[in-house]
């Protein structure tokens, strides 16, 4: 992702705004000359109508050009920041999971919001201001040289030293700005970490510890922010001191030369006006340089976030896929998580029929959830092949693959929004009949009817407003509404009470008649009727068969089953 390339896409508007700014600066530079002509006209007892009308025209032109300049640059800035955020958000959403999970969410948020805003200032306002201010300064110097070269040399001597100090300050601003961005990101990450686990924090009586930790990071961000403010605050005084010294010298020496007739009063007035006109552009020039330096640091951070590895994308319904009698097959599949040398799965092979319930069981850490993540291509196998309907899923467009799979993860993740928005998330164009059917299969019809606004009831973060079991069933209904050929249930019955679990088992039986259902379950009561049970352990398939076969012939399965059957 090239931020500068994005900005170049709006170069026409940026150039227009800059040209308007330069034209406005030219109108400003002409004003002291007109004032000087007015003074000469007064001295020569000539009419003032012409110079006054010209001055008014210049003032009005300057105001109009300044307005147009500000609008054009502001519009370009909003366009640029929109394109950056649009591109970056798309890359985040399509990033590989293992690449994204290396980042702190708070840092990602800061780069998406704060850094993009600073990049906008850098790429539009700061650059345009540097050009227009530089033109104003150089133009003013040229006009001052035309009026009196000797006074100009004296003025430049005073302003040169102040400019050198300001340039050094601008460089320091960039350095401390990088530190401040990092400190702000660390604070945001810590805050999101705590807020995401607020019930655990309260239950552990850790409010004080976490408050101290977050406050310490906030203080660090405050300290680095104060350093940025302090260095930035020195820019204007540094230039003011140089300007004030120059003004003192110009007044003293200029008046002395006027007194002896070596310089015209009109020229001294115009020269002093140019000197006053130089103050603001000089300050703005170095402030813009400082803003540009801050923005460069943000651009670097945005570009770094834009290097996230991307998934292979695609689209399709998958309705024309030819099945070979197996819904899914693993062929000597091995996998280890990035950064780990330990294989979670080691040369695993099994098949899942195109219809019916298949259960995957095993001790914690056996790789059950990993199997699902590989099917969804959230991760890619280290070696081996996964086939769906006889086709290697690595060769399928990602959109087509995921349109075939309904996935309910063990966190039954819901989003802030209405029940309807959550339900139709994977199938936004579902009909009322399809929605009613999915709710009925998940045994949610009565639950939704009892909500204040039915399907339009607002839910909080992660589905707050529904019980754990209701959230789980809503996630299952969302998967069913997609009308997948394969449904993956990752411990989908964990939070259900006995009655809800029995109702869901009936639903699974119905669903399994039409497609493959693969379930990870710690509750063996939900899988005893499965047509096939796969036992994972030690990175491989230890056994497969029915409940009766495994209970009789596999020691691990029998121990897992008997552990649940034992009285509490």
Read off the pLDDT band of 318 (50, 70, 90).
Answer: very low
Instruction: Give the model's pLDDT for residue 50.
Output: 84
More confident site: 70 or 414: 70
Q: What mean pLDDT comes out for the span 280-291? A: 78
Instruction: Give the model's pLDDT for residue 493.
Output: 64
Q: What mean pLDDT comes out for the span 42-67? A: 86
Instruction: Give the model's pLDDT for residue 317.
Output: 47
Instruction: Give the model's pLDDT for residue 445.
Output: 86
Name the helix (H) or strand (E) containing 519.
strand 516-520
Q: What mean pLDDT comes out for the span 179-197? A: 80
| Mean pLDDT across the chain | 83
Is the alpha carbon torsion for 144, 145, 148, 150 positive or negative?
A: positive
What's the CA gap between 227 and 229, in Å, rounded?
5
What's the CA gap between 248 and 275, in Å, rounded?
11
Read off the pLDDT band of 521 (50, 70, 90).
Answer: confident
Give tens-digit pLDDT for 421-443: 888 888 888 888 888 988 887 77
Q: Indicate if the pLDDT at residue 325 is higher than 70.
A: no
SS3 418: strand
Rg, C-alpha atoms of the chain: 35
Complete edge-to-edge strand list for the sheet that includes strand 326-335: 345-353, 326-335, 383-388, 391-392
Name the helix (H) or strand (E) containing 28.
helix 11-43
Q: Indicate if the pLDDT at residue 555 is higher than 90.
A: no
The domains of the chain are located at: 3-305, 326-565
Read off the pLDDT band of 166 (50, 70, 90).
Answer: confident
Instruction: Give the model's pLDDT for residue 383.
Output: 92
With beta carbons less than 8 A apart as the criterion, state whether 137 and 282 touch: yes
Read off the pLDDT band of 5 (50, 70, 90).
Answer: confident
Instruction: Give the model's pLDDT for residue 412.
Output: 64
Read off the pLDDT band of 124 (50, 70, 90).
Answer: confident
Give tens-digit pLDDT for 371-404: 988 998 888 899 999 998 888 888 888 888 888 8
More confident site: 313 or 169: 169
What's the CA gap between 150 and 123, in Å, rounded?
38
**Topology of 326-565 in CATH?**
Rossmann fold (3.40.50)
Nearest to 469 by CA among 523, 511, 431, 527: 523
Query: In this structure, how many other beta carbons lie within 10 angstroms of the beta carbon of residue 89?
Result: 11
Q: Indicate if the pLDDT at residue 568 is higher than 50.
A: no
Q: Which of 121-130, 187-196, 256-265, 549-558 has the lowest mean pLDDT?
A: 187-196
Instruction: Give the model's pLDDT for residue 65.
Output: 92
Q: List C-alpha distances in Å: 388 to 319, 326, 331.
A: 13, 7, 11
More confident site: 326 or 232: 232
Q: Indicate if the pLDDT at residue 333 is higher than 50.
A: yes
| DSSP structure class, residue 526 | G
Contacts of 197 (CB under 8 A, 6+ apart): none
* Residue found by looking up tokens 């307005």 in the block: 67
326-565 matches 3-305 in CATH topology: no
Q: Cα–Cα–Cα angle for 235, 241, 243, nearest 5°?
A: 100
Read off the pLDDT band of 20 (50, 70, 90).
Answer: very high
What's the CA gap between 307 and 296, in Å, rounded?
17
Give tens-digit pLDDT for 22-41: 999 888 888 888 888 888 88
Q: Which of 48-57, 86-95, 151-160 has the lowest mean pLDDT?
A: 151-160
What's the CA gap between 360 and 358, in Å, rounded?
7
Q: Which of 89-98, 158-167, 294-303, 320-329 has the lowest mean pLDDT?
A: 320-329
Contacts of 469 (CB under 8 A, 6+ apart): 495, 496, 497, 500
Q: What percent of the chain has pLDDT over 90?
A: 10
What's the CA gap between 467 and 474, in Å, rounded?
10
Q: What mean pLDDT comes out for the span 169-197? A: 79
Say which CATH class 3-305 falls into: mainly alpha
Token readout for 94 is 């399509």
Instruction: Give the model's pLDDT for residue 565.
Output: 61
Q: What percent of the chain has pLDDT over 70?
A: 92
Helices (H), 148-206: 149-195, 198-203
With beta carbons less than 8 A apart as the criterion, state whether 401 and 387 touch: no
State the virtual CA torsion across 308, 311, 315, 320 in degrees, nearest 10. -170
Strand 532-537 and strand 516-520: the pairing is unpaired
Contacts of 131 (CB under 8 A, 6+ apart): 18, 21, 22
């Amino acid at each position: 992702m090239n931020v500068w390339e994005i900005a170049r896409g709006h170069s026409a508007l940026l150039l227009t705004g800059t040209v308007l700014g330069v034209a406005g600066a030219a109108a400003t530079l002409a004003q002291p000359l007109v004032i000087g002509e007015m003074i000469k006209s007064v001295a020569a007892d000539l009419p003032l109508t012409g110079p006054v009308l010209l001055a008014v025209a210049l003032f009005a032109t300057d105001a109009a050009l300044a307005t147009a300049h500000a609008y054009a640059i502001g519009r370009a800035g909003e366009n640029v920041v929109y394109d950056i955020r649009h591109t970056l958000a798309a890359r985040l959403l399509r990033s590989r999971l293992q690449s994204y999970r290396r980042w702190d969410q708070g840092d990602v948020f800061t780069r998406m919001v704060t850094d993009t805003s600073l990049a906008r200032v850098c790429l539009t306002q700061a650059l345009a201001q540097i050009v227009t201010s530089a033109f104003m300064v150089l133009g003013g110097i040229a006009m001052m040289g035309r009026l009196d070269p000797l006074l100009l040399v004296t003025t430049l001597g005073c302003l040169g030293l102040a400019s050198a100090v300001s340039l050094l300050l601008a460089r320091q601003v960039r350095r401390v700005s990088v530190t401040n961005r990092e400190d702000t990101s660390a604070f945001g990450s810590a805050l999101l970490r705590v807020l995401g686990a607020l019930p655990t924090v309260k239950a552990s009586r850790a409010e004080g510890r976490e408050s101290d930790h977050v406050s310490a990071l906030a203080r660090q961000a405050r300290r680095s922010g104060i350093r940025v403010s302090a260095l930035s605050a020195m820019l204007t005084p540094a230039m003011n001191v140089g300007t004030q010294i120059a003004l003192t010298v110009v007044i003293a020496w200029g008046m002395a030369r006027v007194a002896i007739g070596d310089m015209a009063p009109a020229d001294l007035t115009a020269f002093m006006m140019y000197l006053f006109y130089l103050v603001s552009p000089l300050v703005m020039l170095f402030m813009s340089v400082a803003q540009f330096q801050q923005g460069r640091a943000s651009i670097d951070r945005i570009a770094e976030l834009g290097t996230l590895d991307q998934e292979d994308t695609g689209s399709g319904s998958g309705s024309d896929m030819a099945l070979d009698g197996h819904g899914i097959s693993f062929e000597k599949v091995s996998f280890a998580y990035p950064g780990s040398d330990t294989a979670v799965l080691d040369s695993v092979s099994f098949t899942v029929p195109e219809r019916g319930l298949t259960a995957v069981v095993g001790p914690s850490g056996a790789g059950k959830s990993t199997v699902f993540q590989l099917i969804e291509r959230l991760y890619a196998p280290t070696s081996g092949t996964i086939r769906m309907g006889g086709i290697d899923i690595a060769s399928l467009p990602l959109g087509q693959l995921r349109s075939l799979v309904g996935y309910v993860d063990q966190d039954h993740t819901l989003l802030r929004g209405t029940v309807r928005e959550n339900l139709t998330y994977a199938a936004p164009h579902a009909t009322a009949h399809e929605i009613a059917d999915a709710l009925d299969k998940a045994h949610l019809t009565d639950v939704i009817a009892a909500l204040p606004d039915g399907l339009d009831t607002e839910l909080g973060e992660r589905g707050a407003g529904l019980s754990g079991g209701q959230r789980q069933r809503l996630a299952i209904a969302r998967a069913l509404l997609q009308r997948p050929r394969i449904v993956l249930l990752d411990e989908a019955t964990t939070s259900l009470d006995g009655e809800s679990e029995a109702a869901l088992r009936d639903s699974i039986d119905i669903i399994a008649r039409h497609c493959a259902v693969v379930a990870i379950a710690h509750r063996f009561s939900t899988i005893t009727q499965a047509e096939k049970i796969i036992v994972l352990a030690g990175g491989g398939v230890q056994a497969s068969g029915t409940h009766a076969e495994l209970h009789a012939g596999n020691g691990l399965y029998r121990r897992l089953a008997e552990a649940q059957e034992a009285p509490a």
